[in-house]
Chain A
Amino acid sequence: ETGVTQSPTHLIKTRGQQVTLRCSSQSGHNTVSWYQQALGQGPQFIFQYYREEENGRGNFPPRFSGLQFPNYSSELNVNALELDDSALYLCASSLGPTPYEQYFGPGTRLTVT
């Protein structure tokens, strides 16, 4: 059984650019949730995908968008990057759209300059 993996590990982008982050869910899990964790803060929920459909969204602007593929892996896309988007982006997978047994990946550290 493989755990949750994310790529890339680190990323540096310039303000105004676009970025795509990737997440492979744990084997057997059909739900992926994305979180943004600013330095020294708790993770903040961005959105969740369940069986390829968005199943809830946090307080993030539309320039944050996502996708889930038939194999349940997922992408997070951020357009028009701002300096405040610099953070650790975490994905978590689970079996079903519940918080129970939600397993997090190691995250992607995004720096916007």
Chain B
Amino acid sequence: QQQVKQSPQSLIVQKGGISIINCAYENTAFDYFPWYQQFPGKGPALLIAIRPDVSEKKEGRFTISFNKSAKQFSLHIMDSQPGDSATYFCAAWGNQGGKLIFGQGTELSVKP
């Protein structure tokens, strides 16, 4: 019930295309859903986040879509660029003593 399941494990997209990464959760107590971007040799960096009272949030080329009834949320990267090539993690938090639960990660490769 504490898990966050992320798919796909890896993704190859052509430059200019749309990258879509999906996550699913079980615990309805989760109320904050961030996405992190991690480059090799670096720590994760917060990309965008959403609360469950909103169905969509957009920041530049990055959009989170949230489906509360299905307990699913996804990251869309529009006009994907080679510089977006990184590992992306979804996460969830539900006021459990600071515990942020991460998905398994998606390795995105954007081909020029």
Contacts known (A42-B89, A55-B97); A104 close to B45, Cβ less than 8 A = yes
A100 touches B32 (CB 8 A): yes
Q: Which of the segments B13-21, B53-61, B65-73, B98-106 contacts the partner chain?
A: B98-106
Given contacts A99-B93, A107-B43, contact A41 B100 (CB under 8 A): no
Q: Does B1 contact A (CB under 8 A)?
A: no
User: Are B100 and A90 neighbours in the complex by a CB distance under 8 Å?
Assistant: no
User: Contacts of A58 on B, CB cut-off 8 Å?
Assistant: 99
> In the complex, what distance in Å separates the CA atom of A92 from the CA atom of B42?
12
A31 touches B98 (CB 8 A): yes
Q: What CA separation (Å) do A39 and B79 show in the bound complex?
A: 29
User: Among the interface residues A35, A90, A99, A105, which one has the most CB atoms of the partner chain B within 10 A?
Assistant: A99
Q: Shortest distance in angstroms between A45's beta carbon and chain B's nearest beta carbon?
A: 5
Question: CB < 8 Å: which of B6, B41, B97, B102 contacts A106?
Answer: B41
Whose C-beta in chain B lies nearest to the C-beta of A44? B102
Decide if A104 touches B32 in the complex (CB within 8 Å). Answer: no
Least Cβ distance of A82 to chain B in Å? 22
Report A50-67 residues with CB < 8 Å from chain B CB.
50, 55-58
Per the bound structure, the CA–CA distance linking A51 and B101 in Å amounts to: 22
Tell me the nearest residue of chain A to B99, going by C-beta: A45
Interface residues, chain A, CB within 8 Å of chain B?
A: 4, 31, 33, 35, 40-45, 47-48, 50, 55-58, 90, 92, 97-107
